[in-house]
Every structure is written in C-alpha cells, then in structure tokens.
Structure 1
C-alpha cells in the first residue's frame, strides 16, 4: 500500500510545495469550479503550464485571470470542452498541440434526473466516462510523447454500483440516479486498470481517487434537503467529515505528482493515500469489482466499440 505522509487535512497547496512541475503541461477538465479551481491553483504554484478545459469559457477566463494574479504563473489558459458532447471532446483533442504531461479528468455530473444525450446515452455515463475516455484516447500521442500521468477523479459513490454492461443506459431497468452515478465512477477506476495494462510500455500511467465530501456545484441537481440527507447517510456509515475544496484537491495533487506512483496504474486513493479494499458496510475503500481486470477489459471494448475509437 502506498502511504504518502499526507492525509485528510492536507491541502492541495501543501502538496504543491514539494512538487516541481516546471516545464510540465497540464489539462484540468472542469477547472473553472469547485475542486477544479484548487487543482489548477496548486498545479500553477508548482510551476506547471495549465489549461482549464471548461464548458463555460467565460467562467474559465475569470478563474484564469484570478489565478494568474494569485500565483504569479502567467501560463494559465482556457479552452472550450463539453464532455457530454463527443464533437466538443474531439475538437479539443484535435486542437491540442505538443506534449501533455498531466491530464486531470476532474469534471463530472452527479445524480442528474434521467437525461439522454442525442446518441441516447445516459448523461452521467456519457459525461463522466465516455467523455473522458474519448478525450484521453484523443490525446494519446501527446501523452505518449514524454510519458504522462492521467488522473481520474472518481468517488466513494463507486460503491453504490458496478458497471451493468447489459444495460448501461437504463433502457430496460428503472433509472436510479445514484446507481447511475456510481457505475460512472466505477468506470473511472476501471479505465485506469486497463490503461495500465495497455499503455505501460508507452510510459503513461492512470490512477483514480476519491476527493472527499465537499460542498461544490457538483450537487446542483440536488435539493438542499436531498443533499443534507446524503451527507447524513454518509456520515452515519463512515463518520466522514466534510472537506474544503482546498483539501478535496489534495488527493488529486498527490496522484498527479508523488514519486511513489511512478510507473503505477489502476490504483485508487482517498485522503492522499492508497485506499484499502472495501469491507462492506462503510462508504470508504475500493470495491473489488472496480479493480477487476476482466471488467476493465470489457469496459474498454464496449467503450471503443460504442464510440468508434
């Protein structure tokens, strides 16, 4: 098990203090809000050139301007990216030029009402997995150029649902928005398991993480009552405290920068350290099905076939 010396209270900036990312280029999806902002801030403080990939370019520009002033790093830019749109994702990847050392697959949607993309895909799976899958494969040559790390922001919600391959998009079963969110977060972890096998010789690694329970606009599809109920239920199961966005981004920074992860893929981290296997009855640790090599291989096959990649 990888232990880093950091923990629950650690902030992203504390991790950045011991990281040197000078000359490194990073993309952060969803970098214009929530823990994405703090991830961009910390990467910039560590010296990286950072691109904020965001649906709302104006919001991204405001964040970039603020962070340039705050960090003194003038190499923070913004590019349009809507992960629910395959056309947008492919345009972003096609327009990327040069090497890419860090891809932080941070953006996502959570607990949405049943919504389908124009292709008929369930929105959470289409955004949280398909969007990042297409993006990562589209950037493969840039990631391969100098070796890179891909960081997938997953969630303890992966414990709520494994990937149901015979009905990914709720065409035959009743829609459950938390189960749907859970399977998309399981997919984030499985992606790294298979990528590690396929891309080890390319020098690309991919790992996943749980940032923590953080109040951000990820919860925009929940009423205040629903949000409080989720927090209450999670606390009852885990004694979990809420994190600030600065603390929530810390595990992302650890997975992106720690030398302890050199050459490692398919792992899952929480509170800045590698997570133990889930033992049941608690909303922490990693589920065995989320690191199952057969499920990971099947997910890759289904994804490439569905997306024609």
Structure 2
C-alpha cells in the first residue's frame, strides 16, 4: 500500500498543522506537558478550543504552564493532574479520577539515556517510564477512549517514539538488563521500539471501537530530554549533523508531527503507522544502516506478532 502523506513536512510547525481547526468539545490528555514538546503540543491543541489535561509529575510547574497556555490562547479549559509514569499508584489514581469521554491521548512524556536505575518492581527505568507507564495509562483509559470514539466518530492515541528505536528491538529475554551490561542508548532504543509496538497492537485490538494509535518521531529537538547525554552522544549527533544526516528542529517544528497524528484527517481512522516529518515513513529491514535511514522505521518496530507478544508481556508485568 502507498504511504500516507499530508501537506506537512520537516519545516512545518505545530501552528501550521492546527491552523483553522476548531476542536471545541474535544478532550485531550498530554503527558509530560510542563516543557518541550509536550508543552507546545498542549498549547497548540488549546489554541483550537480543545479541553486539555496536562498529566505531569510536578503539579506546581503544571499549574504555571496551564495558566500560561490559558493566557496566550484564550482557552481556560486547561487542567492539571498528577502523573508519575514510573509510579503505578499515580497512574491508577489518574485513571480512577478521569470522568467522561476522552478523544485524544498524547503519550509524550519520557526519559532518555539515563543512568542505570530501577523502579520498586525492579524494572529498568527507561522501559518502565517510556513504555510500561504509558501502557498502563492507555489500557486504563480504554473505556474513556471508546466513549470518546462513539461521541465524535473516533478517538486517537499518539505515542512519541524516536529514530533511536533503530538501536534495539525489545529484547524479551532480558528486557530489564538483569543479565546483560546496561547501555543507556540500547535501553532507550528498546523503549522507543516498544512505543511503536503499542500503537500497532492497540490499533489491532481497538480499531473496531473507533480507536486508532500511531507512533511519531518528532526528530531532533533540543529539550530537557537530553539532560543525561554524555559528551560522546553529543559528539555523535554533531557528526551526523555535519554529514547532513541529522538536523535539529525547533520545539514548534518538533511538535508538528504529533499534531498531524492527533488531528490530520489522513490519520483519523487508520493506525499502527510510524510518522516522521508529518508523513508516514518508509519501513526498512532490521539490519539497515542507522545513519542512512534515520527517517525510516525498522521492521521490528511494526511487526504485528512482536506487538502482540509485547502487549501480553506488559500485561503480565503489570499483574493484569
């Protein structure tokens, strides 16, 4: 099948994508919305009249952001709720407190290349935060999404991934680095592959209910997400940029592909796709060279059998 294309590209901004949209009545949750891409995504959605809930670790920072978004967009329907993706109790409280339909779930929050750390369950922190936390949130909000889909002819889930998914598949034999040496880039890459696979399986399970999920690569954006980068990682990106393989986007440009997946009509009723620069990306073999295919998606991130397996493994880890 031909790739899905839109009018947007690498230079498009969040405002370009939402210009002219009226999303009054749409309810959206954006995780990690106190800074960077999440904040810009929430601001752009609020500018369309949508009702936004900022799901954040820091309530104080979230409240400040909500006030700023309301002031700059004229939309006062911006709420703040506590959510710590590495703490399942906060996810349960968020889900239990949610009332009514949900139309957009933007799984934006994440950590990157962090030092070795584990949750109280013993889970590797990047996988636990980037995948398992969002997985628990997503399945917990299923009924709300189904209600939203019935109300407005569809609900959408957007999973933020990364070109770093190319560094690692989900290593089911040792997801949590209990036997192999911990590598922050491999751990991050594995979690980003998992984000893609969640979109594939959520769509397979829930498309009949009007719910679709897509994964988006925002591209290289300088945000707080890179706070744990080593100098070697920074030097590597500099070399790729010098070679013309990689270039940094502004935060406004980085949020654009998220907004495409969330609002563009081309993705209203189809899911399981990987978007890059506002369009569906090419799929390349698992052994493809990383640098030459940084805007593509590896097969291991979209494989339906792997997606089913990860879903079940995730349920088992969560005790469902």
Same fold flag (TM > 0.5): yes
Q: Secondary structure at the residue paired with 2:228?
A: coil
Deviation string 1:28-51 (CA, Å, 9 cap, x unpaired) is 000111111110110001110001
Which of 205, 208, 228 is 1:201 aligned to?
Answer: 208
Q: Is the 8 A contact 1:219 1:227 kept in 2?
A: no
**Residue 301 of structure 1 aligns with which residue?**
312
Alignment-derived partner of residue 141 in structure 1:
143
SS of equivalent residue, structure 2 residue 220:
coil
After alignment, is 233-242 or 191-200 more displaced?
233-242
Distance 2:50 2:178 in 1: 43
Match of 1:13 among 3, 15, 31: 15
How many aligned positions are there? 308
2: CA distance, partners of 1:184 / 1:237 = 27
Structure 1 position 233, deviation (Å): 4.2
1:260 aligns with 2:266: yes
Structure 1 unaligned regions, length at least 5: none
Taking only aligned residues, the RMSD between alpha carbons, in angstroms, comes to 1.2
SS of the counterpart of 2:197? helix
- Structure 1 residue 22, shift from structure 2 partner: 1.0
Contact 1:154 1:209 in 2 (8 A): yes
Distance 1:253 1:3 in 2: 14
CA distance in structure 1 between the aligned counterparts of 2:244 and 2:97, rounded to whole angstroms: 43
Q: Which residue of 1 aligns with 2:152?
A: none
Preserved contact between residue 11 and residue 249 of structure 1 (Cα < 8 Å):
yes
Residue 148 of structure 2: SS of its match in structure 1? coil
SS of the equivalent of 1:220 reads: helix
Separation (CA, whole Å) in 2 of partners of 1:278 and 1:250: 23
> Structure 1 125/227 Cα, relative in aligned 2: closer, same or farther at 3 Å?
same
Task: Provide the residue aligned with 1:270 in structure 2.
Answer: 276
Q: Which residue of 2 aligns with 1:210?
A: 217
Aligned partners of 1:304 and 1:180: how far apart in 2? 20
Q: Secondary structure at the match of 2:189?
A: helix
Within 2, Cα distance between the matches of 1:233 and 1:162?
A: 24
TM-score normalized by the length of structure 1: 0.97
Q: Does 1:192 align with 2:199?
A: yes
Cα separation, 2, equivalents of 1:59 and 1:230: 32
Q: CA deviation at 1:90?
A: 1.1
Q: Deviations over 1:241-271 (max 9, x none)?
A: 1101010000000000011112211100011
**Residue in 1 aligned with 2:108?**
106
**Shift, 1:238, TM fit:** 5.5
Deviation at 1:18, TM superposition (A): 3.5
Q: Structure 1 residue 239 and structure 2 residue 245: aligned?
A: yes
Partner of 1:285: 296
Shift of 1:237: 6.4
Matched, 1:126 2:156: no
Cα pair 1:193 1:296 within 8 Å, conserved: yes
* 5+ residue gaps, structure 2: 150-154
> What SS class does the counterpart of residue 83 from structure 1 fall into?
coil
Match of 1:154 among 156, 161, 167: 161
SS in 2 for 1:114: coil
Q: Distance in 2 between matches of 1:31 and 1:47?
A: 17
- Tell whether the 8 Å contact from 1:93 to 1:139 is kept in structure 2 after alignment: yes
Q: How much has 1:27 moved relative to structure 2?
A: 0.4
Whole-Å separation in 2 of the counterparts to 1:25 and 1:234: 39
